[in-house]
Amino acid sequence: MSRFHFRLDRVLDLRASAEQEEARTLNAAATTEDAAREASEASRERLRQVSEQAAAAPADLANAGTMRNYLLAVRAAESQADDDQATLDASAVEREAAEARYHEARRARRVLERLREHRHAEWNREANRQEQRAADDLAPRRGRPGGDR
């Protein structure tokens, strides 16, 4: 019997390549999210420090210009923290989308792999049946005319 040939091997290879590409995309999205998380945490820490510094300003040094500068510094830190949080939120959404695409690509590849496994098992069963028939045809049969020679 000829060797096993799965007609959808090329499609399976393409799906495996697509899965690998989605895995790379997911990895990049997770790395981006991690960097955004670190930036967000750092900006929140800066905001905390600036707020503490503004609150701890001595009352006798707090003239209008100094108070305004503290207020501007706090607002800038708040704005940066908000921007970094928005970036983190967007990167989390992108990572979730990349994860969903990866799982879909993986599922599509596994479907074809299972089909290939089933077809290969069927091919093996048929090959075994043919071998058994061939062996049965070669073996002499007792009780058949000409089988006891």
Distance of CA 30 to the CA centre of its chain: 9
- Number of H helices and number of E strands within the chain? 2, 0
How many residues are listed for the chain in this entry?
Answer: 149
Which amino acid does the sequence have at 48? R
Report the mean per-residue pLDDT for the chain.
91
Is the pLDDT at 148 greater than 60? The verdict is no
**DSSP per position, 9-44:** HHHHHHHHHHHHHHHHHHHHHHHHHHHHHHHHHHHH
pLDDT score, position 101: 98
As a whole number of angstroms, the distance between CA 88 and CA 65 comes to 34
Q: What is the pTM of this model?
A: 0.74
